Amino acid sequence: MADLTSDFLGIKSPNPFWLASAPPTDKEYNVRRAFEAGWGGVVWKTLGAEGPPVVNVNGPRYGAIYGADRRLLGLNNIELITDRPLETNLEEMARVKADYPDRALIASIMVPCDEASWKAILPRVAETNADGIELNFGCPHGMSERGMGAAVGQVPEYIEMVTRWCKQYYDRPVIVKLTPNITDVRYPARAAKNGGADAVSLINTISSITSVNLDSFSPEPSIDGKGSHGGYCGPAVKPIAMNMVAEIARDAETHGLPISGIGGITTWRDAAEFMALGAGNVQVCTAAMTYGFRIVQEMISGLSQWMDEKGYTSIDDFVGMAVPNVTDWQYLNLNYVAKAKIDQDACIKCGRCYAACEDTSHQAIWMKEGRVFEVNDAECVACNLCVEVCPVEGCISMEPMEIGQTDPRTGRVVVEEYANWTSHPNNPMSRAAE
Ligand SMILES: Cc1cc2nc3c(=O)[nH]c(=O)nc-3n(C[C@H](O)[C@H](O)[C@H](O)COP(=O)(O)O)c2cc1C
């Protein structure tokens, strides 16, 4: 039976599923219910410094993008960090941690970018017995205008400096939460590592405007006729988040730096994919907000069943397994040749593959008598567009050509050169280097 126990930076939790810092972790009531539902850990909703209260908008704070079935694909929010008093949060955290010693409880923090502010809050957080802290350098709205959140996360020097302060004034693990609103995520990750971070977590939300009301011409969510960019999350951001996780996992300068993966995780499979790309655990926000806390049970049973099927006994058996397979384009094997194949029994004759290929790709699908669609191997470049637009899952597949077969499109014989592809003469990059 698979063991889902997670040890992230020495922080133990019964499973690798943590709730990300957000409304689901905003207060004791929520976190207790989350732990009862089975979540392995939580990152408490971001705490701010003592001072003028944080005031949220009193109108809609969310906007959304839906699929055709009104399934929520992307969520946009203009919420700030916690608007509850610091002392109340700290008291609640201490109580919850005492009652759930086997669960991970991390304090997310965002205070002004000066040493005194961090020095003041860290001992108070330590008193709660939280297992570690997460530095919120990611919030793209509201706080960044005040020199916090993404305003810090976009400047590697600030990340390094603040991380150093935290390592100096706090003796438990420090996780640096990264913003995706940058050009190259490796730089902030390197800065976090240089500052002594024990791990990075990513991604926070992506700056976004999800829609514009064409009567009032106000971006949504609209507050009295005006809107502001928000932070985008949910299933739509998963591909962006996974790429950023992989970039950090395979960067020589941050290789080995533990990663907590966040962004659109909704199913056990999403979690396993992040973990295969190098995340030691995962955090979830939108899925819990959409489906409720019990969704973690699906994640636990799904991951456990998959691990049993694969013969993995612990999560360490597959964390990072996909990292060596993420490469730069020039190392892709150009001797690998595939062709589209249409399963005529499954085909519903809608013609979408034909329209896509004929109008926008390589004119490699014939429409024959009786709306029979067939692939012309001599034109097919295996681009995969027909697979992506086909409404019947599995109807069109990409079949690799056999070694030794001649590709009718290029006239070249398909050869197997997986092992030494980088230096193979057919590799244009190796030829360019000659
Ligand atoms: C309404 C809302 C509030 C959030 N508040 C915070 C916050 O206070 N601190 C923080 O670090 N991240 C915050 N986040 C970002 C999430 O922790 C998470 O990084 C992001 O939503 C991506 O994960 P997801 O796709 O699973 O939602 C918030 C997200 C949402 C939707």
User: Tokens in use for 235?
Assistant: 């299933």
Q: Work out the average pLDDT over 131-140.
A: 88
Residue 349 resides in a domain: yes
Q: Kindly report the protein residue whose alpha carbon is nearest to atom 30 of ligand 1.
A: 22
The pLDDT-based confidence of 429 (bands split at 50, 70, 90) is: low
Query: Which structure tokens are listed for 296?
Result: 């973690």
Task: Mark whether 139 is an active-site residue.
Answer: yes
Ligand 1 centroid to Cα of residue 271, in Å, is: 17
Does residue 422 register a pLDDT over 70? no
Instruction: Determine if ligand 1 sits within 6 Å of the CB of residue 24.
Output: no
For position 206, what pLDDT does the model report?
95
Looking at the fold, whether 347 and 304 belong to one and the same domain comes out as: no
Cα distances (angstroms) measured from residue 222 to each of 61, 218, 225, 325, 413 = 8, 6, 6, 44, 60
- If asked whether residues 257 and 339 sit together in one domain, one would say no
Does residue 284's CB lie within 6 angstroms of at least one atom of ligand 1? yes
Say how many Å lie between the CA of residue 185 and the centre of ligand 1: 18
pLDDT at 344: 98
**Ligand 1: nearest atom to the Cα of 265:** 26
Per-residue model confidence (pLDDT) at position 335: 83
Whether residue 338 sits in one domain with residue 230: no
Give me the residue label for tokens 């990409």: 398
Does residue 1 form part of some domain? no
407: number of CA atoms within 13 Å, CB side? 21
Flag whether 201 is in a domain: yes
Report pLDDT for 138: 72
pLDDT in tens, 21-75: 999 999 999 999 999 999 999 999 999 988 878 888 888 889 999 999 999 999 9
Average pLDDT for the chain: 93
Residues with Cβ within 8 Å of 321's Cβ and at least 6 positions away in sequence, in order, are 276
In this prediction, residue 420 carries a pLDDT of 56
Contact status, residue 364 vs residue 357, Cβ threshold 8 Å: yes
Q: Whose CA is nearest to atom 6 of ligand 1?
A: 22
Residues 40 and 68 in one domain: yes
Interaxial angle between packed helices 186-194 and 156-169, expressed in degrees from 0 to 180 and rounded to the nearest 10 = 30
Nearest Cα to Cα of residue 242 among 267, 259, 260, 263: 263
Torsion of CA 98, 103, 104, 107, to 10 degrees: -40
The answer to whether residue 247 sits within a structural domain is yes
Relative to the CA of 75, which ligand 1 atom is closest? 31
Q: Decide: residue 201, CB within 10 A, 0-12 exposed, 13-18 middle, 19+ buried.
A: buried
Of the three residues 325, 358, 383, the one that is the final residue of a domain is 325
Q: What's the gap between Cα 19 and its chain centre?
A: 13
- Does 99 map to a domain? yes
Q: What's the pLDDT band for 226 if we cut at 50, 70, 90?
A: confident
The pLDDT of residue 431 is above 70: no
The residue nearest atom 28 of ligand 1, judged by CA position, is 22
141 alpha carbon – ligand 1 mean position (Å): 12
Shared domain check, 346 and 197: no
Residue 9: strand, helix, or coil: coil
pLDDT at position 150 over 80: no
Q: Which whole number is the average pLDDT over 382-389? A: 98
Query: Residue 434's pLDDT is what?
Result: 43
DSSP 382: -
Domain containing residue 186: 6-325
- Count: domains in the chain: 2
Task: Say yes or no: CB of residue 238 within 6 Å of ligand 1.
Answer: no
Evaluate: CB of 281 within 6 angstroms of ligand 1: no
Both 300 and 333 in one domain: the answer is no
- pTM for the whole thing? 0.94
Q: For 384, which DSSP code?
A: -
The answer to whether 167 and 195 have CB atoms below 8 angstroms apart is yes
Q: Is residue 318 domain-shared with residue 337, that is, in the same domain?
A: no
Torsions phi, psi for 393 (to 5 deg): -60, 130
Ligand 1 binding pocket includes 265 (Cβ within 6 Å) = yes
Q: What is the CATH number of the domain that holds 413?
A: 3.30.70.20
CB 10 within 8 A of CB 173: yes
Whether residue 262 is contained in a domain is answered as yes
285 closest CA partner among 102, 14, 79: 79
Do 192 and 78 have their domain in common? yes
| Ligand 1 pocket member 45 (CB < 6 A) | yes
* Pocket residue to mutate for ligand 1, from 141, 285, 299, most atoms within 8 A of Cβ: 285
**Rounded mean pLDDT, 230-258:** 97
Q: Within this chain, do residues 209 and 357 fall inside the same structural domain, yes or no?
A: no
Ligand 1 centroid from CA 287, angstroms: 11
C-alpha span between 281 and 243 (Å, rounded): 16
- Residue 18 confidence (pLDDT): 98
> Ligand 1 centre and the CA of 285: distance in Å?
6
Instruction: Give the pLDDT band (50/70/90) at residue 143.
Output: low
Residue at 356 is within a domain:
yes
Q: Which of 303, 325, 347 is the last residue of a domain?
A: 325
Whether 216 contacts 192, CB under 8 Å: no
User: With a 6 A CB cut-off, is 261 part of the ligand 1 pocket?
Assistant: no
Nearest C-alpha neighbor of 371 from the set 399, 351, 389, 386: 351
pLDDT grade for 147, boundaries at 50, 70 and 90: confident
Point out the catalytic residue in the list 113, 139, 380, 395: 139
Give the residue from 325, 349, 380 where a domain finishes. Answer: 325
Distance 102 CA to ligand 1 centre (A): 24
Whether 57 is in the pocket of ligand 1, judged by its Cβ within 6 Å, is no
Is 123 found in the same domain as 55? Answer: yes
Residues contacting residue 293 through CB under 8 Å, at least 6 positions apart: 24, 33, 34, 37, 38, 39
Cα of 37 vs centre of ligand 1, distance in Å, is 20
Q: Is the per-residue pLDDT at 382 higher than 90? A: yes
Q: Closest by alpha carbon to 135, among 48, 246, 247, 77?
A: 48
Q: Is the CB of 46 under 6 A from ligand 1?
A: yes
Residue closest to 232 by CA, chosen among 65, 427, 359: 65
**Contact in structure between 191 and 160 (CB atoms under 8 Å):** yes
Which of 145-159, 174-188, 237-251 has the weakest average pLDDT? 145-159
Q: Same domain, yes or no, for 173 and 234?
A: yes
Ligand 1 atom index nearest CA of 287: 26
**Domain check: are 292 and 395 in the same one?**
no
Query: What CATH number does the domain containing 252 carry?
Result: 3.20.20.70
Q: Which atom of ligand 1 is nearest to the CA of 177?
A: 11
The pLDDT assigned to 338 comes to 95
